[in-house]
Amino acid sequence: MHEIGHAVYDNNISRDVPFLLREASHSITTEGIAMMFGAMVKSEDWLTKIRRLDPDDAARVVTAAKKALRREKILFARWTQVMVRFEHGMYTNPDQDLGKLWWGLKKQYQLLPAPESTDRPDYAAKVHILTTPVYYHSYLMGDLFAAQVQHHIATKVLKPSDHKITAFVGDTKAGDYLRDQIFAPGNLHSWNELTRRATGEPLTARYFAEQFVR
């Protein structure tokens, strides 16, 4: 579902947009849509209408799925802090003890104790550091973007009773909004301008907090 989100985004960029701008506004926006699509599989709407759970199983599974999604988002937010701050430290001072930096951050944000020796380059096991540097912030900021877009769809486009548990199944207005306001402009606007145009306000953590923290 995550990768389908990327594909749907790319497929719906308007062909009227100049060729060199036919890409997502930013990694934040395409990752945000992908994160939103991925999270849908743990929503009541998706599980009951798409997965077609047996009614007797639905309540139990939906409750467990909602708890799992909340934990996933909070744990991932902490992990992202490790990645972003490690890369910042590594590029700021590459000659420092990177193993010590890595495990110090993991202890601080993930509450994981360091091994007896931090001499090994454990950080190099995370492929993004080697193949996709300075990218990981896009996932967490993408989660903020996704929560804000989802909130806007629910409260301004569709107005269902509880936007936190819906995947907007069968709501063509939601699809029209995503296509026209998020996907179609491609890279005509910066990510912050696209966010403002599409949701009416700059990027904020408020809706992510309402959905997963409070």
Amino acid type, 179:
R
* Close Cβ partners of 14 (under 8 Å, ≥ 6 residues apart): 183, 184, 185, 186
pTM for this entry: 0.91
Q: 27 vs 17, 19, 24, 54, 80, CA distance in Å?
A: 18, 18, 7, 38, 15
Amino acid type, 16:
D
Span 61-111, pLDDT tens digits: 888 888 999 999 999 999 999 999 999 999 999 999 999 999 999 999 999
* pLDDT band at residue 171 using 50, 70 and 90 as cut-offs: confident
Span 26-72, pLDDT tens digits: 999 999 999 999 998 888 888 888 888 887 787 788 888 889 999 99
Query: What is the predicted pLDDT for the residue at 160?
Result: 63
Count Cβ atoms within 10 A of the Cβ of residue 167 and give its class: 0-12 exposed, 13-18 middle, 19 or more buried: buried
Query: What is the predicted pLDDT for the residue at 12?
Result: 98
CA atoms within 13 A on the CB side of 61: 16
Question: Of the CATH numbers 1.10.10.60, 3.50.50.60, 3.90.320.10, 1.10.1370.30, which one belongs to the domain with range 2-213?
Answer: 1.10.1370.30
